[in-house]
C-alpha cells in the first residue's frame, strides 16, 4: 500500500473510534523513517489504548506490515509504526506537554 493510501487508512480507522484533534503531517521531506505522522488525542488511557488497538487490529486484517507499537501498557502516548505512516495517540495533557505537531511544523 502506498504511503498516501496508508495515511487515509489510518485516518479512517482512528476517526471510526472517535479520536480527537486529528492532525496529519507530511514529513517526507524531513524524515528518512516515514512519510506521514498522524497525531490524535484520546479522552482517557482506555480511549488511547482502544484507538491504537483498533488500528493494529484493522492493519492485521488488511495484511499491512506493522513495524512496531510502543506505549500500550501506560497508554499516555501510544506510537504505532506502519512504515510510511506513524500514528501517535496521546492523552490531551501529554500532547499539550510535548507539542509534537508544533515541533514538526517548525521543520516543515
Domains in the chain: ranges and CATH = 3-107 (3.30.460.10)
The string of pLDDT tens digits covering residues 78-98 is 999 999 999 999 999 999 999
Q: Give the span between the Cα atoms of 69 and 64, in whole angstroms.
A: 13
Q: How many residues does the chain have?
A: 108
The string of pLDDT tens digits covering residues 18-69 is 999 999 999 999 888 999 999 999 999 999 999 999 999 999 999 999 999 9
Residue 107: the pLDDT is 54
Residue 8: the pLDDT is 97
Residue 61: the pLDDT is 97
Quote the distance between the C-alpha of residue 37 and its chain's center: 6
74 pLDDT exceeds 60? yes
Which run of H or of E encompasses 9? helix 3-16
Residue 104: the pLDDT is 74
| CA neighbor of 43 nearest in space, from 86, 95, 108 | 95
Residue 1: the pLDDT is 72
- How far is CA 91 from each of CA 2, 21, 33, 51, 94, rounded to the nearest angstrom? 29, 11, 24, 11, 5
Task: Tell me the whole-structure pTM to 2 decimals.
Answer: 0.93
Amino acid at each position: 500500500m502506498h504511503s498516501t493510501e496508508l495515511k487515509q487508512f489510518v485516518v479512517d480507522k482512528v476517526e471510526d473510534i472517535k479520536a480527537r484533534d486529528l492532525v496529519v503531517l507530511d514529513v517526507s521531506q524531513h524524515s528518512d523513517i516515514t512519510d506521514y505522522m498522524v497525531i490524535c488525542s484520546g479522552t482517557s488511557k482506555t480511549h488511547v489504548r482502544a484507538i491504537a488497538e483498533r488500528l493494529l487490529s484493522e492493519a492485521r486484517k488488511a495484511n499491512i506490515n506493522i513495524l512496531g507499537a510502543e506505549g500500550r501498557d501506560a497508554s499516555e502516548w501510544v506510537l504505532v509504526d506502519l512504515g510510511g505512516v506513524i500514528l501517535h495517540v496521546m492523552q490531551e495533557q501529554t500532547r499539550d506537554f510535548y507539542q509534537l505537531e508544533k515541533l514538526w511544523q517548525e521543520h516543515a
